Amino acid sequence: MNQVDLKNIPITDNHIHVDNVNGYGAEKVAKIFKNASGKTMILLNKPLFNGDLTGPMDRLLKDIEIINKNIEGVEAYGLVGVHPCELTFMIDNGINIEDAKERILKALDYGKKLIEGNECLVGIGEVGRPHFKVDEAILNTSNEILLYSMEIAKDLDCALQIHGESASEEQFKEFRDMAKSVNLNPERVIKHHCGDNVIEGEKFGIFPSIVASKPVVDASKKSLRFVMETDYIDDLKRPGVVLGIKTVPRRTRKLMEMGLLDEEGVHRIHKDNIEKLYGIELK
C-alpha cells in the first residue's frame, strides 16, 4: 500500500497543551508537528494547579505568537479557560468552595478580555467539570462555572471546549440544554475527549472532538461531523501523554490508506469543521 502524501492536505489538532518549563516548549512542539505534516494547532492553556489561574493564559498568548512568527507553514490559535480540576485543587488545599468559585469566575472574566483583544484567541476552554466522581457541591458549582463560561462564549460569539466525564447521549442533551438556556448555539460547543459519539453529537448539536486513536477510526465510519485531537500534554517526565504530537497527521494518513477518508473528507474534518467552529479562515 502506497503511503498517502499529506503535503497539500490541511491537518488540524484541536487540543494541544505546550509547556516551556517542563516540556519541549511551543516552538519545538510546533516544529515536530510541522515535520509530521501538521498545519493548524489549537492550543489551550495548561493548568498549573498552584493557584495561578491567569498566568497560563498570558503564557498561552505568547506561545501562539512564537509559533505564528517563527514556524512557517503552521497556524496556531488558542482557547483560554480554567480547567475544572482547579476547583477541586483549591478545595483540597483549604479554600472555601465559594471563594474558589469567585476566583475562577474572575479568571474567566480576565480570559474574556484577552479574547476580545486578540484575534488569535478563538474560544473559551477547557472548562466544565471533573472527569472523575465528585460530591454534589463540587458538581453543582462546576456546572455553575460552566454556565458562566457559556454566557461569556455567547457574549463573544465564540466557541467553547468542555472537559468532563465520558461522553454520552444524556450528557450531550444536558450540554445542549445548558447552552440554549443562555442563547449559545450548541454548534459552537465542543466536547473534548469525546469517544466516538458522533451520532449523539448530531442529535443534540454538540460538536465532538475525538482523540486520534481507535475512537476516531470508529467515528469516521459513522459521520464526518467531528474534529480530531491528541490532548497532547507537553511534559518531558511523561512523554506522549495523552497522545504524541505527531498522532493526528499519522492517524489521518492511516485513515486515508484504509479507505475510510478521502481528501474531501479530510478537508471537512480538518478545515471546514474547524473554520465553522472557530469563525476563522485557514490557509
**Per-residue pLDDT reduced to its tens digit, 175-208:** 999 999 999 999 999 999 999 999 999 999 999 9
pLDDT of 239 reads 83
Res 283: pLDDT: 86
- Residue 231 clears pLDDT 60, i.e. is over it: yes
* Residue labelled with grid coordinates 498522532: 247
Q: What percent of the chain has pLDDT over 70?
A: 99
pLDDT class for 102, splitting at 50, 70, 90?
very high
C-alpha cell at 81: 479557560
Cα 226 to Cα 115: distance, rounded to the nearest angstrom = 24
Please give the model's pTM, rounded to 2 decimal places: 0.96
- Amino acid in the structure at residue 121: L
Domains of the chain: 12-278 (3.20.20.140)
- Mean per-residue pLDDT, 45-66: 97
- CA-wise closest residue to 13 among 201, 234, 259: 234
By the 10 Å C-beta count (0-12 exposed, 13-18 middle, 19+ buried), 1 is classed as exposed
Q: How confident is the model at residue 6 (pLDDT cuts 50, 70, 90)?
A: confident
pLDDT in tens, 235-257: 999 987 889 999 999 999 999 99
Give the mean pLDDT of the chain. Answer: 96
The reply to whether omega before 122 is within 30° of 0 (cis) is: no
CA distances from 61 to 64, 77, 81, 223, 258 (A): 5, 9, 12, 33, 38
pLDDT on residue 213:
95
122-136 core/surface letters (b: 16 or more CB in 10 A; e: else): bbbbbbbbbeeebee
Model pLDDT, residue 2: 63
Average pLDDT over residues 50-61: 97
Q: How confident is the model at residue 24 (pLDDT cuts 50, 70, 90)?
A: very high
